[in-house]
Amino acid sequence: MENNLASISKSERTINWFQSHPTVQLQCIHCGENLNLKGKSLICQSNHQFDMNKQGYFFLANKAMSNRYDQALFTSRRQIISQSPLYDALHDKLEIILRPYYSDKSLSILDAGSGEGSHLYRFTQTLGTQHSLIGIDLAKAGIHLASDYNGYILSLVADLTRLPFANKQFDVILSILSPANYEEFNRVLKEEGHLVKILPNAAYLKEIRDAMVKLGYLDNNQYENDSVLEVFLQHYPETKIERVQDTVALNTIQRQALVEMTPLTWRLTDQERQSLLEEMGTTISLDLTILIAN
């Protein structure tokens, strides 16, 4: 982190972010009125109040997700996204896709399903900090970890079914290997905005599936995204489709983190995970479809 941000608290960084990125209007999830920052609270005209916690983020949902998405998973996810080359080809392609839109203005970008904020933080390094980058996730553990990036991005506990934003706020919405709510996306996306959704293809992380089949942990190694793609194209017929493929070498620590974060392996015992690590080899495949809708 830059020294000027590392020297102040997470809550102060969030306040600074609001002061320097006023372009996105937050909305009360209870009454739909605008939320405004007063001290360390977001308050609407009906006096619904959301207080910033000690980590400098806001809880703008009726309830958080309570399941396997814990701090250990998001720590492993950060290791893979930020400290390994696995997603470099995706980030490079997304930067090329976004470049024409930010050449002459600052963008408002929402990462819907941002987890611990690693993808968004990567964009602050490639696109710059002048853009309003906001991440939302219903997993409190992910947003808690994302608070490390306060000041660069804004992270909120929020629900896809009730996004805490006024209408027509975002130039770009990213949905990276996450669920989607197209009705809400359409509501908060600007008329000239772009929805960018990333889907896994058959070869994505195929080494893990192949090894699990060989070890008897999985019945078959087949994967298809046809149904998700079909629904997306029904909503956005004029979609541009691109594909990103790469094969990268991961070290032992990175492979351990990948196994930890991958839902396929969550039901495995520690001994089974170790056997999987020994079987799957050192190279991992990236194979993703990028859907770009206007």
Share of residues in the chain with pLDDT > 90 (%): 84
| Cα–Cα distances in angstroms (integers) from residue 126 to residues 88, 109, 121, 123, in the given order | 12, 14, 9, 5
Q: Looking at residue 291, what is its pLDDT? A: 98
Q: What is the C-alpha to C-alpha distance for residues 252 and 282, in angstroms, rounded to an integer?
A: 8
DSSP 8-state assignment for residue 189: E
Predicted local confidence at residue 128, as pLDDT: 83
Residue 67 has pLDDT above 80, yes or no: no
| Residue 49 resides in a domain | yes
The tokens for 38 are: 């007063």
Q: Is-contact 189 91, C-beta < 8 A?
A: no
Rounded to 10°, the helix 118-126/88-102 angle is 50
Structure token digits, residue 186: 């359409």
- Provide the pLDDT for residue 104: 72
Please count the CA atoms within 13 angstroms of the CA of 98 that sit on its side-chain side: 26
pLDDT at 3 over 60: no
The answer to the question of residue 77 being in a domain is yes
* Average pLDDT over every residue of 14-25: 94
Residue 2 lies in a domain: no
- Mean local confidence (pLDDT), 19-40: 96
Give the pLDDT of residue 31: 97
The Cα–Cα gap between 167 and 27 comes to 9
| 272 contacts 180 by C-beta, under 8 angstroms | no
- CA 102 → CA 95, 127, 140, 195, 220, distances in Å? 10, 8, 31, 15, 43
Report the domain count for the chain.
1
Average the pLDDT over 24-47 and give the result.
97
Q: What percent of the chain has pLDDT over 70?
A: 98
The whole-angstrom separation of Cα 273 and Cα 268 is 6
Q: Give the whole-angstrom CA distance, residue 54 versus residue 40.
A: 10
Region 214-221 average pLDDT: 90
pLDDT digits (tens, 9 = 90+) for 101-136: 776 788 999 999 999 999 999 999 888 888 999 999
- Report the distance separating Cα 170 and Cα 136, nearest Å: 13
Mean pLDDT of the chain: 94
Annotated binding site for Zn(2+): 44, 48
Residue 98's domain spans which residues? 10-293
Question: Is residue 92 one of the residues assigned to a domain?
Answer: yes
Structure tokens at 30: 């209870």
pLDDT at 2: 52
- Does any domain span residue 163? yes
Instruction: Give the residue carrying structure tokens 């298809």.
Output: 224
Kindly state the tokens that stand for 193: 């905005």
- What's the average model confidence in pLDDT over 183-192? 97
Q: Assess if residue 34 is contained within a domain.
A: yes
- pTM across the whole model: 0.95
User: Residue 3 falls within a domain, yes or no?
Assistant: no
Binding residues for S-adenosyl-L-methionine: 87, 116-117, 204
* pLDDT tens figures, 81-97: 999 999 999 999 999 99
Q: Which amino acid belongs to residue 193? A: G
For the annotated binding site, the residues are 44, 48, 87, 116-117, 204
Cβ atoms of 215 and 263 closer than 8 Å: no
Q: Has residue 255 been placed in a domain?
A: yes
Q: What does the pLDDT look like over 172-181, one tens digit per residue?
A: 999 999 999 9
Closest by CA to 90, choosing from 181, 168, 196, is 196
Give yes or no for residue 265 having a pLDDT over 80.
yes
CATH number at residue 44: 3.40.50.150
